[in-house]
Amino acid sequence: MEIVSPDTEVDVIRIEKGPTSIETFHDEAFSIPEVLKLVNKFKTQYDAIIINCFGDPGVHAARELANIPIIGPGATSMHVAALLGHKFAVISIMKNAGPWTEMQARETGLEGKLAYAVGIDIPVLELEANENRTVEEIIKEGKKAIEEYKAEVIVLGCCGMIRVAKTIETRLKVPVIEPVATSLAVAEALVRTGLKHSRAHLYMYPNLSKIMRYKQ
């Protein structure tokens, strides 16, 4: 069975400027305007948009712009993880990933379900080049998460870990959430049920003409 159903199509669109990867708040800050320009451009051409980074950059602003589901892989993965066991762990990339993930968990309301959060200290763009080391570091932290911190589910905290996900799951013998696949499946679930974000309080319609001297 495929991750998306036979009647679903997926396109991948890249930002044209901005950071080559997102590892710091600074990287994230420079990615968001570019993400938003794409969301604004494509918001009527798709049924849902996934912002393909675990840090969910610009997800709130994108929801202000669009009336289709905007999927943040971080929040989505954590909610799915919470459905599969008592507590989950997030294993991510840089050393700032521990506290940053805790901040994300607090924002989603799931801090009570987060057993452990850690980075393996391998930059995003080297994850695949060092696939062996990537796998071994994730396994090491995964075992610690399961045995010491009693995590039941491992969330891969980076959208660039897709190639190693199955290996990790086979070796750790617990559910492993790969955020890209999970985001696709949840996006489809939302579209099928006709659900999208609320406009009641948090998400207003932004006034694009207020942004001075930016080309949208």
As a whole number of angstroms, the distance between CA 48 and CA 57 comes to 16
Judged by CB under 8 A, the chain residues 107 through 146 that form the site for a copy of itself are: 107-113, 146
Return contacts of 70-74, CB within 8 angstroms, 24+ apart.
70/39, 70/197, 71/183, 71/186, 71/187, 71/190, 72/183, 73/159, 73/179, 73/180, 73/182, 73/183, 74/101, 74/104, 74/108, 74/157, 74/179
Per-residue binding letters, 190-209, with a copy of itself (x by CB under 8 A): xxxx-xxxxxxxxxx-xxx-
C-beta separation of 55 from 73 below 8 A: no
Q: Which residue in 50, 75, 135, 155 binds a copy of itself (CB under 8 A)?
A: 75
Residues contacting residue 131 through CB under 8 Å, at least 6 positions apart: 163, 164
- Contact region with a copy of itself (CB under 8 A), list: 79-87, 129-137, 156-164: 79-87
Regarding 84 and contact with a copy of itself (CB under 8 A), the answer is yes
- Shortest CB 174 distance to a copy of itself, Å: 5
Closest to a copy of itself by CB, 158 vs 190, is 190
As a whole number of angstroms, the distance between CA 192 and CA 195 comes to 8
Regarding 170 and contact with a copy of itself (CB under 8 A), the answer is no
Q: Which residue in 94, 126, 167, 171 binds a copy of itself (CB under 8 A)?
A: 94
Number of residues near a copy of itself (by CB under 8 A):
95
Regarding 152 and contact with a copy of itself (CB under 8 A), the answer is yes
Per-residue binding letters, 6-45, with a copy of itself (x by CB under 8 A): xxx-------xxxxxx-xxxxxxxx-xx--x---------
Closest to a copy of itself by CB, 18 vs 126, is 18
Regarding 93 and contact with a copy of itself (CB under 8 A), the answer is no
Coil, strand, or helix at residue 29? helix
Regarding 149 and contact with a copy of itself (CB under 8 A), the answer is no
CB atoms within 10 A of CB 89: 25
Closest to a copy of itself by CB, 132 vs 211, is 211
